[in-house]
Structure 1
C-alpha cells in the first residue's frame, strides 16, 4: 500500500479527513474482522452447512452485542460453498484468505474437503477450525507449526465409541463395516479395526461404497454371509439412506450403528420408514435439561429462525453446537492474541485456560500435543424420530 498521496489525491479528499486516516485504514477499530466458512451450502449435505452457519451466527451475534473484540471490532461471516468437492474447497479457502482477508477459516462436514484445505492454511499461517469433519489426520497432520484446530468428534475416538456401543447395546460380537470410499472412510477403517482389536472383537468384514451408489445390496449380502451381527455405517446422508433402503429390501433387520454423517442432510426423507432404526453419534442434544449457555442459545435460535419452534427443530444439532463453541473460543483467542496475526492467534488458542461452553466446560482445550477440544466423553447417541434427532433413552 502506498505511504504517500499525490497532490491530486490529496486535493480530492473530503474535508476533515487526514491523509493519515487512509494510510492507517486497516487499523481502524471499526473495520470488521472476517471469519471464513468453507462448507457444503448446497447439495445433499446442505443442512450441515446451514447448521454450522446458524451456530456461528448466534455466537457472533452475542460477541458483537457485547462490543466485539480487539477494542470494538465486529465479526462478520464470509461463506463459500465447497459443494462437498475437495478441489472447490481448496480454491474457496485460498480465495477467502487471499481476497477476503479472513483471519480464520471454519470447515464443514466433509473430511476430504478439510484434508485438502489443511496444507493451504499451514502454508498461509492462517488458523483453520474444524467443526464437523472428523478424520483423525485433519488435526494430526504432522505439520509443525500446526494451524489446524477442531471442536468436533475425532474418528479415532468415535470408532471406539461405536464398537463399544454395538457390543453393549446390541450384544454384537462380529460387526460388519460399511464405509464410504474416500479419505474419511479410510480414517474410520483404521480406527474401527484398531478399536475392535482392542476390545477383543472380530470384524465380519469391511465393505466400501461410493457417494452416488444407489444399491448397496451386494456389499451387505457379503457381510450377512460373513456372519455380521451389526452394521457400523460411515457415510453421509444420501448414501447412508441407500444402505438402509438396501437393508429393507433384503429384509435384514440387523442393528445399524452410525457415524454422524447421516445427520447432515435429508436422511429421514431419503431412507424412508427404517430411518429411525439407525442409532448414531452426536456431540450435543438440545433435548433435556440445558445449562445456562444451552438455554440462552436455544432461546436465541428460536428468536432468530422462524422454523425453530423447539429442540427437535435444530437439525443438525451437532453443526450448531460445535460451531457455536468454536466461535466463542475463537473470540477468546483473538482477545488473548490482541491481534489478527495468524501465528499470534495460533499461540493464543494454545493459551486458552477455560471456557464455559454449550457442550461442556473447556479446560485447556488445546495443547501443543492435542488440537482437538472434544473427547470420547463428549458424545451422545441419538436416533431420528420423524425428521427430528432425539437422544436415545438410557
Structure 2
C-alpha cells in the first residue's frame, strides 16, 4: 500500500497544478535593480492584458535575484526544473549567467525568454536543440548600429573598443571588428577591463586611449564600471566621443554621472526606437493605462528608468501569452514546456506590441538558420542619450 501511495505522489509531482502557471524572473535585483524592475513591469503589464489568466490558469510571477552571479542563476534554473508549476524563465540584464548555462538550458528544455541579455551566441546553439528566445538587442546587430555610427556618421579617425572581460565582451570584439573590417576601417585598438575596476585602473585605461590617439570609443560593459571609466576619461580632458552599448542604462549610471561628464563625452547609446514622449494610437492608450497601474514606478512625466527592459518585456510577454494559448495544458510539465518551445516558433500574428507588429517573430531553429530565435531587427533600434533630467531620449545627430 505504501509503495502504491508513493508511486502516486511521484506521478503527481510531474504534473502541473490545474490552476496556476509560474513564470520565473532571473535577474540582478541588487546592483541593477532598475533593469530588473523595468522588465518585471513590462511582463506583468502584458499579463494584465489577459487578467493574468491563460487556459483557465492564473499566471504567477516569481522574481528571483541572481545578484549578477552565474552560480546563483544556475541554481534558479535548477529550482525551475524542480517546480511542477513552472512553465518559463525570463532572463535579466546580464549575458554571462546564460552563456555559462546555455547548454544546461537547451539540454533540459527550459523555455528561456530574454528581454535584455544581448550576447550574440545565446540564441545560437550548435545543435537543433534550442529553447532560448530573444526579443532584445542581438550583439550581432549591435555592431551594425554602433560601428557604422562611429565610422560613417561620426567620421571617427581612430576607435578604441573598451570591453568588459567576459563572454559578452569577447562576443562584441568578434562582431565589431568584423563590422569595421567590412567597412574597410582598420584604425582601431582593443582594451579589455576587469569588472569592478578602481579609479587608478580607469585612469590608466584613459591614458592608453590618449596614447593611441583615439577620438572615439565604443564601450561594452555595465553601469557601475562605466561610471568609473567615463569619469576618468572626463578628468583627462580628452576629446573622446563615447558610443556605448545599452548596458549602462540598467543601473544607476545617470544618477552617478553628472550631465557635464556625459555631454563632455558626447555620450550616445543604443535603445529600442520607441519614446515615452511620442506614443500614438493604441500604444498611447496602453501606456496610459500601464502608468496608471504601476504609477509609483513612473515619474510625473510618465517616464520609467531602464525603459528598454519595459518595452521588450511587454512585447515578449504578449508573444509568450500567444504561445501559451496553443499548448495542451493537461500534459505533464516537461511536455508542456516542450510544447511551449514549439508554439513560440509557430506564432503567426499579427500581434501589435509597443515596438512593432509581430508576424512570425520566431521560427524553427537550425544551425543554418541562426536568426530563428531573434524577434527584432537592426531597424528596431536607434541611438539615444540622457537629457538634462536624466531621461533617455532619441539622440539627434546635431545635438552636440
Q: TM-score, normalised by structure 2?
A: 0.87
Match of 2:348 among 334, 353, 357: 353
The secondary structure found in structure 2 opposite 1:163 is helix
Q: Which residue of 2 aligns with 1:280?
A: 269
1:284/1:317 contact within 8 Å kept:
no
CA gap of 1:271–1:309, structure 2 versus 1, over 3 A, is: closer
Answer yes or no: is 1:241 the counterpart of 2:241.
no
CA gap of 1:219–1:312, structure 2 versus 1, over 3 A, is: farther
1:174/1:201 contact within 8 Å kept:
no
CA distance in 2, matches of 1:32, 1:3: 29
CA distance in 1, matches of 2:13, 2:205: 62
CA distance in 2, matches of 1:54, 1:274: 30
Q: 1:390 offset after TM fit, Å?
A: 1.2
CA gap of 1:56–1:84, structure 2 versus 1, over 3 A, is: same
CA gap of 1:311–1:32, structure 2 versus 1, over 3 A, is: farther
Q: Which residue of 2 aligns with 1:156?
A: 140
Q: How many residues align?
A: 374
CA distance in 2, matches of 1:161, 1:25: 45
CA gap of 1:271–1:211, structure 2 versus 1, over 3 A, is: farther
Q: Which residue of 2 aligns with 1:258?
A: 244
Q: Which residue of 2 aligns with 1:42?
A: 30
CA gap of 1:100–1:86, structure 2 versus 1, over 3 A, is: farther
CA gap of 1:357–1:217, structure 2 versus 1, over 3 A, is: same
Answer yes or no: is 1:75 the counterpart of 2:59.
yes
CA gap of 1:148–1:102, structure 2 versus 1, over 3 A, is: same
Q: 1:297 offset after TM fit, Å?
A: 3.6
Residues 190-209 of structure 1 mapped to structure 2, 5 A cutoff? 190-209=174-193
Q: 1:295 offset after TM fit, Å?
A: 1.5
CA distance in 2, matches of 1:312, 1:171: 36
Match of 2:157 among 173, 176, 179: 173
1:134/1:153 contact within 8 Å kept:
yes
Q: Unaligned stretches of 5+ in structure 2?
A: none
C-alpha RMSD of the superposition: 2.4
Q: Which residue of 2 aligns with 1:289?
A: 278
Please list the CA deviations of residues 230-262 of structure 1 after superposition, one character each: whole Å capped at 9, or x if unmatched: 010111101011121011110113110000000
